[in-house]
């Protein structure tokens, strides 16, 4: 049985959950050796009476840490690795919390997670040796040693844990749009994660186009998988297929706003309007620095200023909306020029759609509404509508040619 669940851009079909669903099956025995006397008792009668009497007369030794027997075996079904929102996020760091939760499910033992936020190969090995033999851990970690950076990713963890838990390869039926078939660890990831239960559309794979999942933007190509490590227009998508402005802090602010102001019933244009009104209504004007006409490159800093402090001038308002619009998949352009008959320095946003330029001026609309001029609407102004406001910008920046806004973002 499947139940329908609305997503940001369509309806997801999810199988109904079964109460008491159990993914893990553990076979074998755990042998703990807790001191010489305990070992002799376990072996049972193999020693002479003299040796046993000698052991009885020996002062009680300090308790020893449990030793995990080499015979410890776990046979685990695919699907033991946690996922959310139908995504695996293979390039995200594998966290100690995730590791502790997996081992609790698989072994039934609660092994305290390290306090570090991420694992290195060395710290992951040390953690796993608390539940598995050193030889088994070494064989598993050897599969990922020297791959990429020192931080262990979720994909690397899947490779390692599949070996450690003796999970038979079984990628069939598992689909994650952020794990393309030619991804280096695709088989291991799909085996570890199993079927997430999310069917992205009635046709199966995620539909081509922009996709917003929990506030984060992705771009699905014609094959049903995420665009990764490249630009789409001026929007850069990272190794997980997630759009990034180049600032993780700003990306987090934008995703939180999008989660707050949008819902699955909205189309992208309605989401854009909701983001515009959020910026208009939730920040406070504060005089700050101005820029010369035609200046560019200030948008990241000013957007962070607005989202982190809640205050700013026209450049901050424009940058905050610019960041939100790009977080919804719009190839927004930031502009610094002049406004009004007085040619006052000013900043605003422009978006090109179907060959038509639209102008968005959050700060001016905010100020006029604040002053009681409720008739003002500065959202998505056509060139004819914006003409009465006397916007002026340098011709070199007025051609709406797509240009990247953070040259430091390059495919990895």
What average pLDDT does the chain have?
80
Among candidate residues 126, 159, 193, the one where a domain is terminated: 193
Range of the domain at 181: 2-26+73-193
Q: What pTM does this model have?
A: 0.76
Q: Let me know if 143 is exposed, middle or buried by CB neighbors in 10 A (0-12, 13-18, 19+).
A: middle
Residue-wise pLDDT tens digits, 280-333 = 999 999 988 778 777 778 899 999 999 999 999 999 999 999 999 999 999 999
Is residue 6 scored above 70 in pLDDT? Answer: no
Weakest mean pLDDT among 104-113, 205-214, 266-275: 104-113
Q: What is the 3-state secondary structure (H, E, C) of 360-392?
A: ECHHHHHHHHHCCCCCCCCCCECHHHHHHHCCE
pLDDT at 74: 60
Q: Same domain, yes or no, for 11 and 147?
A: yes
Angstrom distance (rounded) from CA 242 to CA 229: 9
Does 183 lie in the same domain as 98?
yes
Question: H/E element holding 213?
Answer: strand 209-213
Q: Which range, of 128-132, 227-231, 238-242, 394-398, averages the lowest pLDDT?
A: 394-398
Residue 175 inside a domain? The answer is yes
Q: Can you give the pLDDT at residue 321?
A: 98
Is the pLDDT reported for residue 56 higher than 70?
A: no
Q: Do 17 and 156 sit in the same domain of this protein?
A: yes
Whether 228 is in a domain gets the answer: no
Q: Quick one: 145 and 265 in the same domain?
A: no
Residue 106 lies in a domain: yes
* 163 and 281 part of one domain: no
263 plus 381 within the same structural domain: yes
Both 286 and 160 in one domain: the answer is: no
Q: Does residue 32 sit within a domain?
A: no
Q: Confirm whether 218 is domain-assigned.
A: no
The H helix count followed by the E strand count for the chain is 13, 12
Q: What is the CATH number of the domain that holds 291?
A: 3.10.620.30
The domain boundary, picked from 178, 193, 208, lies at 193
Same domain, 259 and 185: no
Distance of CA 44 to the CA centre of its chain: 54
Which residues does 400 contact at the CB level (< 8 Å), separation at least 6? 333, 350, 352, 357
More confident residue, 132 or 56: 132
Do 253 and 177 belong together in one domain?
A: no
Flag the least confident range among 44-48, 121-125, 235-239, 283-287: 44-48
**Residue 123 falls inside a structural domain:** yes
From CA 12, how far away is CA 264, in angstroms rounded? 11
**Percent of the chain clearing pLDDT 90 (strictly above):** 56
Average pLDDT over residues 128-157: 92
**189 falls within a domain:** yes
Is 151 found in the same domain as 287? Answer: no
Q: What band does 376 get if pLDDT is binned at 50, 70 and 90?
A: confident
Between 121-128 and 96-107, two packed helices, what is the crossing angle to 10 degrees? 30
pLDDT tens for each residue of 7-54:
433 333 333 333 333 333 333 333 333 333 333 333 334 333 333 333
Confidence (pLDDT) at 216: 97
Among the ranges 1-5, 59-63, 138-142, which has the highest mean pLDDT value?
Answer: 138-142
Query: In terms of domains, do 20 and 168 share one?
Result: yes
Same domain membership, residue 273 and residue 154: no
The domain total for the chain is 2
What is the structure's pLDDT at 295? 78
Got the DSSP string for 268-323?
A: HHHHHHHHHHHHHHH-EE-------TT--S-HHHHHHHHHHHSEE-HHHHHHHHHH
Last residue of a domain, one of 177, 193, 209: 193
DSSP-assigned beta bridge partners for residue 311 = 284
Measured in residues, the chain has a length of 412
Whether residue 389 is contained in a domain is answered as yes
Residues in a beta bridge with 230: 237
């Amino acid at each position: 049985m499947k139940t329908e669940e609305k997503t940001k851009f369509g309806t997801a079909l999810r199988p109904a959950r079964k109460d008491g669903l159990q993914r893990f099956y553990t076979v074998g025995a755990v042998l703990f050796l807790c001191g010489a006397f305990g070992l002799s008792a376990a072996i049972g009668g193999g020693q002479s009476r003299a040796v046993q009497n000698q052991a009885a007369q020996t002062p009680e030794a300090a308790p020893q840490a449990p030793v995990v027997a080499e015979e410890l075996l776990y046979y685990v079904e695919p699907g033991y690795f946690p996922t959310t929102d139908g995504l695996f996020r293979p390039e995200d760091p594998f966290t100690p919390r995730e590791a502790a939760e997996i081992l609790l499910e698989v072994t039934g033992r609660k092994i305290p997670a390290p306090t570090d936020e991420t694992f290195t190969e060395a710290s992951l090995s040390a953690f796993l040796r608390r539940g598995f033999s050193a030889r088994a851990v070494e064989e598993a970690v050897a599969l990922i040693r020297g791959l990429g950076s020192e931080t262990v990713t979720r994909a690397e963890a899947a490779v390692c844990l599949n070996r450690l838990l003796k999970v038979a390869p079984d990628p069939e039926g598992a689909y994650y749009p952020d794990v393309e078939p030619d991804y280096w660890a695709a088989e291991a990831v799909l085996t570890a994660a199993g079927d997430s239960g999310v069917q992205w559309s009635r046709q199966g794979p995620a539909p081509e186009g922009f996709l917003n999942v929990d506030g984060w933007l992705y771009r699905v190509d014609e094959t049903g998988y995420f665009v990764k490590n490249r630009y789409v227009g001026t929007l850069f998508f990272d190794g997980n297929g997630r759009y990034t402005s180049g600032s993780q802090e700003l990306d987090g602010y934008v995703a939180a706003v999008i989660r707050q102001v949008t819902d699955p019933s909205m189309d992208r244009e309605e989401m854009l309007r909701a983001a515009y009104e959020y910026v208009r209504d939730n920040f406070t004007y504060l005089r700050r620095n101005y820029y010369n006409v035609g200046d560019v490159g200030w948008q990241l800093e000013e957007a962070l200023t607005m989202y982190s402090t809640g205050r700013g001038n026209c450049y901050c308002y424009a940058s905050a909306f610019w960041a939100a619009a790009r977080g919804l998949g719009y190839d927004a352009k930031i502009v610094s020029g002049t406004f009004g008959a007085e040619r006052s320095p000013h900043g605003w946003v422009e978006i090109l759609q179907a060959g038509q330029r639209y102008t968005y001026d959050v700060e001016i609309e905010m100020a006029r509404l604040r002053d009681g001029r409720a008739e003002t609407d500065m959202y998505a102004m056509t060139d004819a509508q914006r003409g009465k406001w006397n916007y002026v910008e340098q011709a070199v920046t007025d051609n709406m040619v797509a240009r990247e806004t953070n040259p430091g973002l390059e495919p990895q």
